[in-house]
Structure 1
Amino acid sequence: MHFAVAGIEVSPWLPPLVAFGISFFTSMGGVSGAFLLLPFQVSVLGYTNPSVSATNQLFNIVAIPSGVYRYIREGRMVWPLTWVVVLGTLPGVFAGAIIRVQWLPNPSHFKLFAGCVLLYIGVRMVRDLLNPKPGSKAEAEKRFQALVTAHRKKAAQSREPLPAVRVLGWNLSRVSYEFYGERFDVSAPGIFALSLVVGIVGGVYGIGGGAIIAPFFVSVFGLPIYTVAGAALMGTFVTSVFGVAFYQIIAPFYPAQSVAPDWMLGLLFGVGGMVGMYLGARCQKFVPAKVIKWGLAGVIVYTAGSYVIGFFL
């Protein structure tokens, strides 16, 4: 099948199949999988036009709602955290789109930068998993996991879902919530600043930003992966909607480049991602947090390595 905007030939069954496999695992960590689809499109399919960024964001728009629906239905959406992420990433997405088409039509240099950022996050996650810090934090995490296990057993016996997240309060400085009896408190300006930077990265490469936001939530802010996944996915969805619209609007101003998304290719990726993300979100609560963290760290380190090594080859 020929995709005119992308300028490639590919079997129509391949995009949804690849997207399904990626999204099933990455959605458990609050990541849509777009950051892994990008190197697949560039390196495997040969899709190197600037419009690949918009096509990646189109994948997010189609795929993410199914996963977000599961998190909302199970009461695991921290809405104040979600809105801070959205407000931070939106300005960055617009700036990133302009940077992509104006100054980075060839993404090799920025891929090196993105690879270094992801490598730092991945290595930090691996270090924390291999050498957990002793003391109160380790004991709190152990106690927290025991609470989650106890509530799961109670829910299984009663066959009634238990409310997982309870927002305690939020303002311009802090966001506080309770998850299975454990309290978490995070800086709203810190989340906003991180989201702004991530929005620029997402706007340039169409990766949504969940690949960066979710690990930072876990490793830097100390939030449980079970509560940040929904917020990261929802933030990625909203910013992707505006990102695709913005790429489509500015496309006429760059007639010499392919800027607007390849709608057919993006929809095929999105359909596969939609199914994979729904099943991944549904299965997340049955997978230990440590397994999810290891999986997320693994794909981040692998992707970062491919970006950095590819720059020098």
Structure 2
Amino acid sequence: MFFETAGIDVAPWIPPLVAFAVSFVASMAGLSGAFLLLPFQMSVLGYVHPSVSATNQLFNIVAIPSGVWRFIKEGRMVWPLTMVVVIGTMPGVIIGAVIRVLYLPDPLHFKVFVGMVLLYIGFRMIRELLGPKKDVAEGANGEGDDFTTTVLFWNLREMAYTFRGRTHRFSVPGISFMSFIVGIIGGIYGIGGGAIIAPFFVSFYGLPIYTIAGATLMGTFVTSVTGVLFYQGMAPFFPTMHIAPDWGLGLLFGLGGIAGIYMGARCQKFMPERGLKWLLCLVLLGTAGKYIAGFVLHLLA
């Protein structure tokens, strides 16, 4: 099957199958899997136009709502946290889209920076995981356990909520600024930013993965809508470049993602939190390694 915007020929069953496998695993860590689909599209399928970022964000739009609905149904959506993430990332993703089109059609050097950031976060999380274990409240128990969250208070300075008998508190301006920076990076690469902001929540703020997954997915969804609309709106002003998403390819990826993210959200609470953190570490280090190795190979070529 030929996809004209992407300029590639691929069997129609491959995108949804790959998207299902990637999003099932990634969604348990609060990610959509778009950050893994991007290198698959570029390296395996040969989709290298700037529009691959918009296509990746289209996948998020189609796939994420099923997982968000599951988290809402189980009472694990921390809505104030979600609002802070969305408000912070939306302007960032627009700035990132402009940078991607005007200045980084081949953002090789910027990938090195992102890779180093992810590498630092990944090693920080490994150091914490290899340290003394925290109390057993972090482990996942049976389905009958209470996984709901209760917001204690939130304002422009601070927010606090409880989860499984523990109180978690963080700075609202700090989360907002971090979300803005992540939005810029997400806008450039078309990944929504969940792959970067989720480990920040876990490593720097000590928030449980069970409670941040819904917020990061919802934030990724809203910013992806913004990104796709912006890329589509910019397309007429750059007639010689492929900027708008490949709707057919994006929808095929999204169909696999719908099932994958829903199943991942459904199965997440049966996974121990330390296991989810190790999964997040492996994803971070693998992504960072790919970005850095790509830059080194480019220098040696």
TM-score range for the pair, normalised by the shorter chain length:
over 0.9
RMSD, matched Cα: 1.3
Q: Are positions 1:145 and 2:138 aligned together?
A: yes
Structure 1 runs (4+) greater than 4 angstroms displaced: none
2:168 is paired with a residue whose SS is strand
Offset of 1:180 from its aligned partner?
Answer: 1.5
1:251 maps to what in 2?
A: 235
Question: 2 CA distance for matches of 1:239 and 1:79?
Answer: 16
Of 255, 262, 269, which aligns to 1:278? 262
Q: Which moved more, 1:215-224 or 1:117-126?
A: 117-126
The question of whether the paired residues in 1 share the 8 Å contact of 2:138 and 2:274 is answered with no
**Count of matched residue positions in the alignment of Structure 1 and Structure 2:** 297
- 2-side partners of 1:53 and 1:113: how far apart? 18
User: 1:181-238, CA deviations, whole angstroms, 9 ceiling, x for partnerless residues?
Assistant: 2111011011001100000000000011110111000000010111011100000001
Cα distance, 1:105–1:241 mapped onto 2, change above 3 Å:
same
Instruction: Please name the residue that 1:54 is paired with.
Output: 54
Q: Which residue of 2 aligns with 1:107?
A: 107
Match of 2:94 in 1: 94
2:77 pairs with 1:77:
yes
C-alpha separation between the residues in 1 aligned to 2:287 and 2:231? 25
1:311 pairs with 2:295: yes
TM-score by length of 1: 0.92
Q: CA deviation at 1:144?
A: 2.2
Q: Is the 8 A contact 2:29 2:276 kept in 1?
A: yes
Match of 1:287 in 2: 271
- Equivalent runs, 1:203-218 vs 2, <5 Å: 203-218=187-202
Q: Note the alpha carbon deviations across 1:240-275, whole angstroms, 9 max, x for none.
A: 011100000011111111000000000000110110
Aligned position for 1:159: none
Report the Cα distance in structure 1 between the residues aligned to 2:92 and 2:138, rounded to whole angstroms: 35
Match of 1:199 in 2: 183
Instruction: For residue 46 of structure 2, give the secondary structure of its aligned residue in structure 1.
Output: coil
Cα shift readout 1:2-48 (whole Å, capped 9, x = no counterpart) = 01000111111111111100000110110000011111111111111
Amino acid at match of 1:8: I
Cα displacement string for residues 272-308 of structure 1 (whole angstroms, at most 9, x for unaligned residues): 0110000000000001011111111101101110110
Q: What SS does the corresponding residue of 2:135 show, helix, strand or coil?
A: helix
| Aligned residue number for residue 241 of structure 1 | 225
CA 1:80–1:259 in structure 2 vs 1: closer, same or farther (change >3 Å)? Answer: same
For 2:282 and 2:37, locate their aligned partners in 1 and report how far apart those are by CA, in whole Å.
16
Query: Residue 2 of structure 2 contacts residue 10 of structure 2 at CA under 8 Å; is this kept in 1?
Result: yes
Shift of 1:163: 6.1
Structure 2 distance, partners of 1:203, 1:288, is 32
- Return the alpha-carbon distance in structure 2 between the equivalents of residues 163 and 106 of structure 1: 43
SS in 2 for 1:21: helix
Equivalent residue number for residue 21 of structure 2: 21
Paired residue type of 2:41: Q
1:143 Cα offset (Å): 4.4
Distance 1:41 1:218 in 2: 28
Amino acid in the other structure paired with 2:267: C
- Partner Cα separation in structure 1 for residue 39 and residue 111 of structure 2: 10
Question: What is the match of residue 183 of structure 1?
Answer: 167
What is aligned with 2:36? 36
Give the aligned residue type for 1:121: I
Q: Would you say the 8 A contact 2:154–2:160 is kept in 1? A: yes
Query: Normalising by the residue count of structure 2, what TM-score does the alignment of the two structures yield?
Result: 0.96
**Structure 1, unpaired ranges of 5+:** 133-137, 157-161
